[in-house]
Structure formats: structure tokens, C-alpha cells
Amino acid sequence: MKNYANFIGIDISKLKIDVAVFEVEKNKDSVKKSYVNFIFDNSPSGFQKMNRELKRIKNTAFNSFICMEHTGSYTTALCFWLEEKKWDYCLVSPLHLKRTLGLTRGKNDKVDAQRIAYFSYLYREELQPTKLASTTLLKLKSLFAFRERTVKTSTILKQTLQEAKSLNKLINNKFVVKKTEKQLQIIQKELQEIMEEIATVMEEDEAIKKNFELLKTVVGIGKINALAFLVFTQNFTSFDNARQFNCYVGIAPFEHSSGSSVRGKTKISKLANKKMKVLLGNGVSSAIQHDKELKQYYERKIKEGKNKHSVKNAIKSKLVSRAFSVIKRQTPFVKFEHPMAA
């Protein structure tokens, strides 16, 4: 990170943003911390007012670094505005902030903004400016989330239909069955239209489209898994290697030991993108069935007495490594017809 003179924390809610400018005064004996606080609307007009106030106290896009919690859609408009105005900013996990800054008593937005500003000062050597994904990726992310909600609705309707049919022998449930079946037909049509829209959006960016097609060549990675890889890696720009993504997904094992008395099992972390982890789990079943190399690996490890879930977790890691490899090489995955022992 370049040298910044000022560090700004922003606590974002639906209607407003609390801004805290961290100021540090160093003298011979101690360091004095102080903050300047503002409140603005979470809107373009509010961002313009923030810009004027920050400039008034000599904070500009050239000498300041802004840090914010990643709060989903509430941050999107501000991120677009900051990038347009060339401000450097960083989005950090709320859990990361909470665990880094320690115990707190009480909570309010002003103090939260100050804590974020102080966090950005403390970790100024490690934090890197965030960049929004491309417009195409943002569209795909929205479509991916919309599809997930639609799939959940479909699952609920299927359960409702099953329950309604099971009661049909006891009560006249024909109306509920008929309406649920009609709703399911609509949902299934919407799912098809969503996938068609995803294919249309893919055409807007040749690099994204190419990576999508490359990912699908990996056995165990279908359309939905390939889309998830693109969304969660920002087209493979957010992670340097497969190991980093394994940590993010929660399939990388970590040692659990301390001194001579604590010798826990090496295990995965519960801090993970659980959605991507589930999708990879679905891909494992397909990979074991259709890839001879992975099938041999799975069967051999099970015969050795390895835990089934641990072996499947290792195969998830292999799928991630293959995905990163085909993107790095920009060549399709080649399946071995006569694999050696994995």
C-alpha cells in the first residue's frame, strides 16, 4: 500500500453513513488519537457533501484511504461513487473487524466508524485497495443470487406439493395440489429463463465467457459451479492461487496444536463460504462417477480406512486446483484415460 496521510472509517446503514477521520498526533512521549466525525445520507447527494467536508479538512483522494465493512447492497452505490472519484477504499469482513479490535461495550454508528478508521490505520501496511467487479460480473452475481432464491422457492413448493398429495386421501386437497403444481410450472419456466439470461450476459465479456467454457471442461464442474467460481473469485482476480480459495471456501485443513499439551487433529475451519462449499460437494459426486482418476483415488482412500468426508474434502480441493489450472493455462482440462495412482 502507498503511504497515506489520513485514514477514514465509514459505517454504512440503509439511509445514512457515519464517517470518522482518524487523526494521530505524535510527540516525544506519546501518541494522541483523535477523530473528526460526520453523518451524511447514503445517496449520491450525501456522497458529494462528504467529499466537500473531507476536502475542507484537507482529506483528498490523493492522500486518504477509506475503510468500510462489507454490508452487501448498502455499500454498492458508495463504492461506485468512490471509484468514479478515484478514492482508494477497502471493504473488510465485519467478523474480521470484530475479532481484530477486541472487546466492546455498547454499540453506536459513530463509535463503529471510529473503530473502522483506527483499524485501517493499524493495518495500513496490509490492507489493499478494493476494486469493484466489472459490470458483467455484477450482473452475473445478481442473477446467481436470484437463481438461488428461485431454487429455494421451488424446493418449498415441491415439499408443499408432496405434503398436499399425502393428505389428499384424508381430505379433499385438490385445490392446493392444482395451485401448487401451477406455481411449480411457473418457477421451472423462470429457472430456464434465468439460465438463458445468464448465457446472454456472458456474451458481453469475452474473457468471462472463455473462462466459463474452460471451467466446464473440468469433470465435476457444471454450469452452476462454473458460474459460482466466476462470481466468488471475480473472474479469478480476487485470489492468487487455489490454496487461498480453499481457505475461503473452508476446505483447507489447519493444524491445531500449542506447546506440548495441545495436539488436536488437523481440521478445516468453520469460517467459510458455505454456498460454494456445498456446490463443490455436489461436483464431487459427479467427479467420482465420471472421472476414473478421482474414482480410483476415492476407492483407494476408503480401502485404507480414511474417513469418507475427509476423502471427499480432498477431492473438492483437487477440483479447485484443476479449476485454477485451466484458467491459468487458458487451455481445457484433459482427462487421463489410464491414470496412475493419485
Of 320, 230, 307, the residue nearest 280 (C-alpha): 320
Phi-psi region of 23 (alpha: psi -120 to 50; beta: other; left: phi over 0): beta
Backbone angles phi, psi at 214, to 5 degrees: -65, -40
Measured between its terminal Cα atoms, the distance across the chain in Å is 41
Q: Which of 170, 204, 238 is the last residue of a domain?
A: 204
The answer to whether residue 197 sits within a structural domain is yes
Q: What is the DSSP letter of 231?
A: H
Q: What is the pLDDT of residue 213?
A: 96
Q: What is the pLDDT of residue 33?
A: 74
Q: Are residues 117 and 146 in the same domain?
A: no
Q: Are residues 80 and 104 in the same domain?
A: yes
How far apart, in whole angstroms, are the C-alpha atoms of residue 328 and residue 236? 9
Of 253, 255, 248, 256, the residue nearest 272 (C-alpha): 248
Q: Are residues 237 and 275 in the same domain?
A: yes
Q: What is the DSSP letter of 213?
A: H
Q: Are residues 264 and 315 in the same domain?
A: yes
Contact 158, 117 (CB under 8 A): no
* Strands annotated E in the chain: 6-12, 16-26, 31-41, 64-69, 88-92, 253-258, 262-268
How far apart, in whole angstroms, are the C-alpha atoms of residue 12 and residue 14? 7
β-partners of residue 40 are: 17
The answer to whether residue 214 sits within a structural domain is no
How far apart, in whole angstroms, are the C-alpha atoms of residue 233 and residue 76? 18
Q: Are residues 102 and 179 in the same domain?
A: no
Q: Are residues 252 and 324 in the same domain?
A: yes
For residue 159 the three cell numbers come to 415439499
Q: Which of 122, 156, 177 is the last residue of a domain?
A: 122
Instruction: Write down the residue that cell numbers 480406512 correspond to.
Output: 305
Q: Are residues 31 and 117 in the same domain?
A: yes
Q: Are residues 153 and 87 in the same domain?
A: no
The answer to whether residue 90 sits within a structural domain is yes
The answer to whether residue 319 sits within a structural domain is yes
For residue 184 the three cell numbers come to 411449480
How far apart, in whole angstroms, are the C-alpha atoms of residue 339 and residue 12? 53
Q: What is the pLDDT of residue 74?
A: 87
β-partners of residue 64 are: 6
Q: Are residues 230 and 200 in the same domain?
A: no
How far apart, in whole angstroms, are the C-alpha atoms of residue 78 and residue 89? 10
How far apart, in whole angstroms, are the C-alpha atoms of residue 145 and residue 268? 26
**What is the per-residue burial (b if ≥16 Cβ within 10 Å, else e) of 273-282?**
eeebbebbee
**What is the length of the chain?**
342
Q: Are residues 157 and 248 in the same domain?
A: no
The answer to whether residue 37 sits within a structural domain is yes
The answer to whether residue 211 sits within a structural domain is no
For residue 269 the three cell numbers come to 475451519
Q: DSSP string spanning 91-120?
A: EE-HHHHHHHH---SS--HHHHHHHHHHHH
Q: What is the DSSP letter of 229?
A: H
Q: What is the CATH number of the domain that holds 12?
A: 3.30.420.10
Domain coverage including residue 176: 135-204
pTM above 0.85, yes or no: no
How far apart, in whole angstroms, are the C-alpha atoms of residue 72 and residue 39? 20
DSSP 3-state of 17: strand
Contact 29, 52 (CB under 8 A): no
Q: Are residues 11 and 117 in the same domain?
A: yes
* 109-122 helix and 94-101 helix, angle to the nearest 10 degrees: 80
Q: Which of 122, 147, 162 is the last residue of a domain?
A: 122
The answer to whether residue 337 sits within a structural domain is no
Q: What is the pLDDT of residue 38?
A: 94
Per-residue pLDDT of the chain (342 residues), as tens digits, is 678 888 999 999 999 999 999 976 665 555 567 889 999 999 999 999 999 999 998 888 888 999 999 887 889 899 999 999 999 999 998 877 887 777 666 678 899 999 999 999 988 888 888 888 889 999 999 999 999 999 999 999 999 999 988 887 788 888 999 999 999 999 999 999 999 999 999 999 999 999 999 999 999 999 999 999 999 999 999 898 999 999 989 887 655 455 555 555 665 666 678 899 999 999 999 999 999 999 999 999 999 999 999 999 999 999 999 999 999 999 999 876 654 544
For residue 36 the three cell numbers come to 473528526
The answer to whether residue 322 sits within a structural domain is yes
Contact 215, 323 (CB under 8 A): yes
Q: Are residues 196 and 254 in the same domain?
A: no
Long-range contacts of the stretch 188-193 (C-beta < 8 A, 24+): 188/154, 190/150, 191/147, 191/150, 191/151, 191/154
Q: How many domains does the chain have?
A: 3
Q: Cα torsion at 301, 304, 310, 316 (round to 10°)?
A: -10
